Chain A
Amino acid sequence: MNFPVPIVILVFSRQLSVSELTEVEWDLLIRQTRKAMLLAKLYYLVLQQISKDKIPNSVWRHLKSAHVHSEKQFNDLLWEIRHLKVVAKNLGSPMILLKGAAYAIAGLSAAKGRVFSDIDILVPFNDIAQTESELMLNGWMSSNLDAYDQRYYRKWMHEIPAMRHIIRGSVIDLHHNILPRTVKSCPDARLLINKSLRLEQYDGISILAPVDRIIHSATHLFYDGELEHGCRDIVDLYELLNEFIQHGETLGSLIERANELGLQKPVYYALRYVKLILKFSVSAEMVNSLNKNTPSGLMIPIMDFLFIRALMPDHVSCNDRWTGLARWLLYIRSHWLRMPLYQLIPHLLRKSYKQLLGKDQH
């Protein structure tokens, strides 16, 4: 890397305590953290290390402001989940909340100060139509009416087009798997659903098993091409892993599950980069017990070159001359992984054409 390790990384990996920061260091820390959407998480981290009166007033204002905003998002999320209980009740099979929403109702520390956006839901493939109509009865409508997009999502993807609530504006992404059907290593979703946990206090809404939550988070990060929030996502993974260990689980069980689901590659990268970037403790033998599909020795230096840059905050102080290229190559890679070329090329051509006409905002 031709840039120093960003201060936000030093702080989140606990290599640097905030008790000794100068005003200028606070300045850079707040800037990078804001860009990485981790400001409300920093609020909790700072208060773990120093008391409020040790924090400069101007810095406190930004931390507190971010905290207020994240509390509001958290309450809004719980309110939406309340409404989703009605939907869950009317379904024959489990309705599983994924990612942020799951962390929130599981009471995980990964939910504390996290920025929430869309609500991700997983249901069995055969229940998509029923769930969709239940969601519609409760006010969520598909916001994308383009016939090509609808067909594209329903035929190839692991989710249907996003549904937006007509009054409250909340957005739901309804999934039947965690990877597109066109991906080679697309897992059998039934394995995930069978192991999911039903939460009685949420009227039967379910969440993935802890080990599957980690695997899903890793899969999402290392198959997705839009890494502007990569830093937030790697911190998510780091917190999920730490909490997993604290609850008495072992990394061995994570490896075993990755082997079972055929998702060794994203778990390999997850462990590699939480270790390299955030100093999470994991042994090489452990990583090597992933039994197949791991990147070859030749690929590893290349992927390091790309991911170590792309997983930094998208802030000018965390870039070097290669950062832009790295993000771009990973974007191309994600499409490459998602679809075979004979599907990808017509799809991208169509998207570019629509963008030229100004009809597509994506």
Chain B
Amino acid sequence: MTARSSFPGSEPQVKFRRHIPYDVPFLLVVDDEEFLCREIVEYLRYHGLAANYETDPNEAVAIIDRERPRAILIDINMDGLSGRRVVEIVQNMGFNGGILLMSGDPNAVYQANFEGANVLHVLEKPIPLPALERFVRGVLR
């Protein structure tokens, strides 16, 4: 039996890498699109904010539990575990940091807003980076 990921050209999964001292509040970006994560994190770091990323939503749950980021920016549509499910899990675990949802699917954004997801904000891709930077800066302060 061959799973989808066995196709030639599928990208290797990148694990969370620790760049930030433990006592520094940071933002965790969770999206299965690694290039997107990298660009967001690069922008935020360039502007002096601590940020890291994880592409595997299950691993992200473990990191959130372990590292307790100050805030998370998480994609709604992910393979395996949806962003909303991740939020639900971490909130049940007692995570009380800031949560931002994002999606490229307007329907998903609308639905999340409509259903009143218990998050700070729901962002629609493409992410407006300057606005994100101001927002994150406020949260991490």
Tell whether A pairs with B. no
* Interface residues of B, Cβ cutoff 8 Å to A: none
